[in-house]
Amino acid sequence: MGQDRQRIDKWLFFARVVKSRSLAAKLAQSGRVRVNGDKIDQPSRQVAAGDVLTVTLDRKIMVLKILGPGERRGPYEEAKLLYEDLSPPPVASDKRPAALAPFREAGSGRPTKRERRQMDKWKSSGE
């Protein structure tokens, strides 16, 4: 094995795509990683600079072009140097933005615990 090639699970871990190498291996085995369009099922698959990975994560799809092998799992700034992000921009959903919490005037709706205690005190003093 030359220095220019690396196992896919190690590369995914070094590039900070996943949190651990065992998660990277499970991701590769689950068939949610494609190398140059071919679905893989082995974490031992070798990748090199120029390969294009398509990784399906829970909430997004990442398309990454490998620029080089990793030597260690370093900080995010170092990990960004291992790939070029070719991911499409997120699709705008039809959902409207979350509305602000509805405003309620004081005294409308159910009484608070404090207000209930005050009413009970007032009722008991009137008898």
Domain ranges of the chain: 5-85
Note if the pTM is more than 0.75: no
Angle at 34 between CA 79 and CA 9, to 5 degrees: 45
- Using the predicted structure, report yes or no on whether residue 105 has a pLDDT greater than 60: yes
Model confidence over 30-71: pLDDT tens digits?
A: 999 999 999 999 999 999 999 999 999 988 899 999 999 999
Residue 65 phi, psi (nearest 5)? -100, 120
- Domain 5-85, CATH among 3.90.950.20, 3.30.70.141, 3.10.290.10, 3.10.180.10: 3.10.290.10
- Indicate if the pLDDT at residue 2 is higher than 60: no
Strands 46-48 and 38-39: unpaired
CA 83 to chain centre: 18
